Structure 1
């Protein structure tokens, strides 16, 4: 926690700590955080149902306007409901090179197995223990005379380097053009018979073949606009205007493309609804794809 706190004060940091919370009211980290001017919260779990305690901790996180939960030495298995509510927004660090050695006694197990390296893994928290998506790892060599204690000491130093780096990278994703482009690319190319082709300096996706038509573009602050955005086809100027009027923080009229009824869906903003992004990609693709590809989707829409 201390490594995360002080790393958050570097000029290059993409995150800030708004609360340090613990189920141990006597935790030293609470004292450190308070001394550094960070809000703190503590509530013992003793005598409480797991879900009830999780709800109390979650309430404190929400009151602090937290966007993410970063577990650092929080030695509690979390309720499935709590994990689901923070899916994709809760990180943990584990002292092994996952998927090796989930759970406890990781250093002794690595030594006993004759491994040459140990290490640490930062991963997203999932309902299965230590099984969420791996975001980053760091290796630590196992020395011939290592004990579990001596190995743990070096792994802990490595953890303090890895965790702030990964949290910084993860928190900065929503504003990183490269990550946003790769995410849009993956979603677009999942649609049937699509291909990527650059157009006017922007990445674009179209139906494949000589008669293929564009259904999406990626715009990285083009034509003097401040937005990183997905450009998709609407039903026309009336719908485009209605979308912008209803939600100007999400939609805008893109230069050049707006005259043809395309809408810009802003990506470099907090709280992007990726289901909405998928909806516009699919709808835009459906508007230009050959009937042989869309007839089943068209039939489903009628219901």
Structure 2
């Protein structure tokens, strides 16, 4: 089985990156490090990764808007063929577009027992609160800071007279033990999100590309138009759905009348003949989804591509 390709984002020395890197050298590890990237080209962790034969990328974020810089990092991750992302001391708030683009495929390690002490100064806060333990947590990255589902934790006792520095040093040891194990278990679980399933099928089509558009993951043809959107609670509709092109409002109305639990008229795109297909009604018919993606792609793709597909269909 091919190993997952992990991109690691750092800002400094990258000690958790190093823990992931050396764990990846074990033969049964399910991931390999494909890229180490930093928002500081002088980050010491980049030098270590390069010395270990890992591809690196470093660029300062200063003077750039968050989404603009994140788009650069996103491009580098995808160019390296990354399938998953691990944040390892990456001291940057991420843009919503970046988080959405790596939904369910990006993890972070945080130095507290979440949900306690999100944000900074975690050890100091734990000591001041009189807690018996500090620790660290690995969690999926979501739009809210340090708020994603927790995948694993390690507890570290707080000793009498504990200083912030001494607690931080022991928690760091726990982080180096926890992070590689949890990342490996997470990747081994192999459970694809609904977005992953849609993405795999959409990007398998000729010259298909992915781009965040209007708050949703969109799929378009290079040199052509968008042919699909993946939406989650878009404009508060409470639905997870795939939006694709129907032949027009007549077919749209027919589909909704025939199966109103599956199809719906999406806001904004509905008047243009797009149809919504619900993906949150139990088991998804992925053959149906694939057929709709193929059909919608043909309506959006330039003629130079559809001609080749039409010829292939004759054989």
TM bin, normalised by shorter chain, reads 0.5 to 0.7
Cα distance in structure 2, aligned partners of 1:131 and 1:302: 32
The match for 2:57 is 41
Task: Please identify the structure whose Cα radius of gyration is greater.
Answer: 1
1:115 aligns with 2:116: no
TM norm structure 1: 0.59
- Which residue among 91, 94, 97 is the counterpart of 1:78? 94
Q: How do 1:69-148 and structure 2 match up within 5 A?
A: 69-148=85-164
State the distance in 2 between where 1:54 and 1:300 align. 37
Unmatched tracts of structure 1, length 5 or more: 184-245, 248-272, 280-295
Structure 2 SS opposite 1:16: strand
CA distance in 1, matches of 2:123, 2:63: 32
Matched with 2:271 is: none
Partner Cα distance (1:147, 1:82) in 2: 36
1:19 is paired with a residue whose SS is: strand
Query: Residue 49 and residue 147 in structure 1: after superposition, are their counterparts in 2 closer, same or farther (change >3 A)?
Result: same
Q: Which has the higher contact order (CA 8 A, sep 6+)?
A: 2
Secondary structure (helix, strand or coil) at the match of 1:18 reads: strand
Distance 1:151 1:94 in 2: 14
- 2: distance between equivalents of 1:142 and 1:79? 35
1:65–1:114 distance in 2 versus 1, CA, 3 Å: same
Q: Is there any run of 5+ residues in structure 2 with no aligned partner, and where?
A: 1-16, 194-203, 206-229, 233-239, 242-256, 265-315
Out of 14, 33, 38, the residue aligned to residue 22 of structure 1 is 38
Structure 2-normalised TM-score? 0.57
Shift of 1:82: 0.7
Deviation track 1:133-176 (CA, whole Å, cap 9, x = no partner) reads: 110000000000211110000000000000000111111121xx
1:155 matched to 2:178? The reply is: no
The equivalent of 2:245 in structure 1 is none
CA distance in 1: counterparts of 2:36 and 2:176, whole angstroms: 17
Moved runs in structure 1, 4+ residues, more than 6 A?
none
Quote the residue 2:187 is aligned against: 171
1:299 Cα deviation (Å)?
5.0
Residue of structure 1 equivalent to 2:74? 58
Residue 12 of structure 1: CA displacement? 2.0
Residues of 1 paired with 2:97 and 2:136: CA distance?
A: 27
Q: Measure the CA separation in 2 of the matches of 1:12 and 1:82.
A: 30
* Shift, 1:297, TM fit: 8.3
Q: What CA distance in whole angstroms lies between the structure 2 residues aligned with 1:109 and 1:101?
A: 7
**Higher-strand-fraction structure:** 2
Distance in 2, matches of 1:146 and 1:301, equals 58
Give the Å deviation of 1:88: 0.4
SS class of match (2:91) = coil
